[in-house]
Structure 1
Amino acid sequence: MLSDSVNYLRDSEDAVVTVAIGGLLLLASPLLIPSFLVLGYLMRVIRRTADGDDEPPVFEAWGDLLVDGVKAFAVTFVYSLLPLAVLALAAVFGIGAAVVGSGDGAGGLLGGLIGGLLALLLVVVALVVSLAGTYVTPAALAAVADSGRVGDGFAIGTLWGIATKRTYAVGWLTAVAVVFVGALAIGVLSIVPMLGTIAGLFVQFYATVAAAAIIGWTWTDVRPVSTDTAEVETAERPAV
């Protein structure tokens, strides 16, 4: 799977054009819409590979790409929002602890200590929630790419059943490894001022697409069976 993901874009006839467009869109990503288009392309990669089509998509049907990108952004944003909320709460407790601890007497010291411990606990909780969100997000994106419904990205029960499968864990770790290697390459390129940073964007796009392909292949094995399909299979099964 790892070698297939590295060769996923390279074996395409439109590899150069696709990587060039993707890198340019990342370069313009501060404008938001280009970043949505990249997300939409990644969703298209996940959908295709999950359906058994290993031919990388090209940048076309830009309106559909934008819609898919907005969906992907919404899912990613929500899963990152909870850890940020917990961290904000930890900051409030931390500030409160500092204010209480600055007071005179044993009561102020005890209150500050308790507040500080609560703030530390919330930071740990935020880190755990953040890791959980990072782990589940690819499955949520694959669910949305598969059905086209944003709500499927928040079907916690279904996603939990998928995320606890060994196949998904292996796929997720493989995708993370690809992104990590890409990040190392970007770090090396960034040694060269300006040009290295720009070149790193194209490497980032290539690595992210490879990771998306891994998620799509993984989704093929872990995707839930739809109720409609199950009902059809039951109806067609002959009675014994």
Structure 2
Amino acid sequence: MISASLDYLRDGDDAVVTVLIGGVLLLASPLIVPSILVLGYVSRVLRLTADGDDEPPVFDEWGDLLVEGAKAFAVTLVYSLVPLAVFAVAAVVTVGAFVVVPGGGGSGTFLGSFVAGVLVLVIGIAGLAVSLVGLYVTPAALAAVADSGRLGDGFAVGTLWTVVSKRAYATGWLTAAAVVLAGALAIGVLSVVPVLGTIAGLFVQFYALVAAAAVIGWTWADVRPVSAEPAESEPAERPAV
């Protein structure tokens, strides 16, 4: 699957143009809107590959692309903010421990410091665990929103659990992670060259991001929940034979 994902964008008719546009958008990503457009393109890749269409999309219909990207941005933001909130609580507890625990010695001071330290450690571990869960669930949430077009599907915990708990999803996620990691290593090598290497790395980053999205899309086709369609009512009268 890794080989197929790396060939996904390259086999497209407008591969060069697509990569150029994607790289330029990442270069301008500090302006926020370009990064949302990239997320919109990723959403299209997720939707098309999940539906069995392996022809890479092009950058067009920019208004729709922006809407799709905004939904993906919202999903990514929420799943990023939850672990940040946990770490923020840990930081507040740490600061509070220094304020509340008196400066003098004694067993009370030691016990208070020990309890505060354990609490900070527990919250920190919890924050790390939540971060890992967020990284694992986010691709499924993005695929769900791209598939249905409904933002709420990205936060349907019960439905997402039926997906992320499958071995096929875990395999797809690990494959996509390997693609992203390979891209990161390539970017690290390119960054040795000042300025030009960093810029070239953005185009590699876009290519790797799309390849990983293709993997998740193919995986989603196998693991996505089947919506229960209402059965058609049987006609009251049958045509005479």
Q: Which interval holds the TM-score relative to the shorter structure?
A: over 0.9
Stretches of structure 2 lacking an aligned partner (at least 5 in a row): 235-241
Task: Tell me the CA shift for residue 109 of structure 1.
Answer: 2.1
Which residue of the partner structure matches residue 162 of structure 2?
161
Give the residue type in structure 1 aligned to 2:97. Answer: A
Q: Match of 1:232, as an amino acid?
A: A
Tell me the residue number matched to 2:17. Answer: 17
In the alignment, structure 1 segments of 5+ residues that lack a partner are 236-240
Q: What displacement does 1:234 show?
A: 9.8
Distance in 1, matches of 2:233 and 2:119, equals 53
In structure 2, distance between residues paired with 1:65 and 1:186: 26
CA distance in 2, matches of 1:42, 1:165: 23
Tell me by how many angstroms 1:63 deviates: 0.4
Q: What aligned pairs does 1:1-240 form with structure 2 within 5 A after superposition?
A: 1-104=1-104, 105-228=106-229, 231-232=230-231
- RMSD over aligned Cα atoms: 1.4
Distance 2:103 2:8 in 1: 62
The size of the alignment, in residue pairs, is: 234
CA shift, 1:167, in A, is: 0.4
Shift of 1:99: 2.7
Range that drifts further, 191-200 or 112-121: 112-121
Cα drift, residue 97 of structure 1: 1.9
What CA distance in whole angstroms lies between the structure 2 residues aligned with 1:212 and 1:56?
A: 11
Larger gyration radius, structure 1 or structure 2: 2
Q: What displacement does 1:49 show?
A: 0.2
Structure 1 residue identity aligned to 2:153:
D
Distance in 1, Cα, partners of 2:156 & 2:232: 24
Asked if structure 2 preserves the Cα contact closer than 8 Å seen for 1:139 and 1:159, the reply is: yes
CA distance in 1, matches of 2:102, 2:192: 46
Q: What is the CA-CA distance between 1:233 and the residue it aligns to?
A: 8.2
Contact 1:40–1:69 under 8 Å retained in 2: yes
> C-alpha distance in 2, partners of 1:31/1:106?
54
Please state whether the residue corresponding to 2:13 is helix, strand or coil. coil
Q: In 2, are the aligned partners of 1:100 and 1:112 still within 8 Å (CA)?
A: no
SS in 2 for 1:60: coil
- Rounded to whole Å, the distance in 2 between the matches of 1:157 and 1:18 is 36
Q: Deviations over 1:208-230 (max 9, x none)?
A: 000000000000000111111xx
Aligned to 1:238: none
C-alpha contact (below 8 Å) 1:93/1:116 kept by paired residues: no
SS in 1 for 2:205: helix
Identify, as 1 or 2, the structure richer in helix. 1
Whole-angstrom distance in 2 between the partners of 1:9 and 1:96? 51
Distance 2:116 2:197 in 1: 46
Letter in 1 for 2:75: V
The answer to whether the Cα contact below 8 Å between 1:39 and 1:68 also exists between their aligned partners in 2 is yes
Q: In structure 2, what is the Cα distance between the partners aligned to 1:227 and 1:125?
A: 36
Counterpart residue identity of residue 56, structure 1: P
Distance 1:147 1:234 in 2: 25
Structure 2-normalised TM-score? Answer: 0.94
Aligned-partner residue type, residue 115 of structure 1: A
CA deviations on 1:13-59 (whole Å, 9 max, x unpaired) are 10000000000000000000000000000000000000000000000
